Amino acid sequence: MWPHMAEFFDQTADGEPGLALFLNAGDPPLDVLRDLVLMLDEDGVDCLELAVPFPGSVTDGPVIRRSHDRALALGVGLAEVLSFIADVRPRLKRLRIALLADWSYSVKSRPLPEVVAEIAQSGADGLLLHAVPPRVRTGYYEVTKAAGLPIVTTCYHKVSTAQVQAEAVEHASAYLYLVAQYGRSGTAPAEGFGDLAGTVSSLRKGTRAPIAVGFGVKTRDDVSTVHGLGADAVIVGSAGVARVEEALAHGRDVVAEFQDFVKSLTTVEQRS
C-alpha cells in the first residue's frame, strides 16, 4: 500500500464522508490562502485540491475559469505553488494537499522526473496531473511510483470506457476521482446523483484507494446523497470558488466567508 493511501480521507467513526475542496493557488492571493489553508486544517477538512492556475481550461465552467485568470494575473505558477506548499505543509495536522497541474501548461516543457521530484519534495501529498497524453501515461505512472508520490486518477460516470475505468482503478494511489457527469465543472447531472451507485460499486471492486465524487456537489444534501451511494468522499469546487470570488469582489474576509461555506457542508462538531 502507498504511504498515504489509507489516510488520505479520514473515515471517522461518525460516518461522515471525506471532504475535498478545490481552490486555485493565487485565488485568493497566497498570503490570504495561507490563512485559509490553516483554517481548513483546524476545521477538520480532509483534503485541499490545490491547482496551479492555467488558462483556457476546456473542462472548467466560468467560475473556475475566472479564478484561473485572477491567479494568473498575480503571476502564480508552478514554482510559486510548490514554495507555498513547502511553507504551509509542515504546519498542518490533518489536511492533505493534492496538487492539480495541467500537463501542457505546467509540466511538459521540462523532464517529467525532475518535475515530479520537485512536487514530492514540496510536501504535496498527492498529484492530479490534468490532460496527460496517452503516450506519456506509462512513464508518468512509473516516475510517480518511483518518487513515492501518490496520484489521483480520474474517470467519468457513464462516459469513460471500461478500459479507461480499469486504468484509473489500477493506478489510483491517493484517491480515484469519479466525475459525476461529462461537461464543465460546476454543473450537476440533470437527473441527479442517484445512478452513481453502480459505477461506484464497479470501481470499488478493483481498488483500495478512496473513491471521491465531484462535479456539481454544492450543498450538504448533495454531500449526503453522494456518500449514501457508496463514495468515500466528495469534491467541492465551483461552489466554494464562487464564495471566494464574491468575498474578493465585495472586500469581505475571504477566510471567514469560506469557513461559513465549509460549515454549510458539514459541521465542525461532527468532524472534530
Domain ranges of the chain: 17-262+265-269
Angle between helices 78-88 and 30-42 (to 10 degrees): 40
Residue of higher predicted confidence among 186 and 14: 14
**pLDDT digits 0-9 by tens, 83-107:** 999 999 999 999 999 999 999 999 9
Residue of higher predicted confidence among 21 and 57: 21
Q: Please give the CATH number for the structural domain made up of 17-262+265-269.
A: 3.20.20.70
Among the ranges given (30-34, 87-91, 194-198), the one the predictor scored with the smallest mean pLDDT: 194-198
188 has a pLDDT exceeding 70: no
Interval 22-40 mean pLDDT: 98
Residue of higher predicted confidence among 182 and 92: 92
Given this model, what pLDDT does residue 19 score?
95
Beta bridge partners of 21: 48, 236
**pLDDT digits 0-9 by tens, 114-173:** 999 999 999 999 999 999 999 999 999 999 999 999 999 999 998 899 999 999 999 999
For the stretch 251-260, contacts whose Cβ atoms lie closer than 8 Å and that sit 24 or more positions apart, written own/partner, are 254/28, 254/32, 254/36, 255/32, 255/35, 255/36, 255/39, 258/36, 258/39, 259/39, 259/43
Cα first-last separation, the chain: 27
Where in the sequence numbering do the catalytic residues fall?
A: 49, 60
Interval 258-263 mean pLDDT: 97
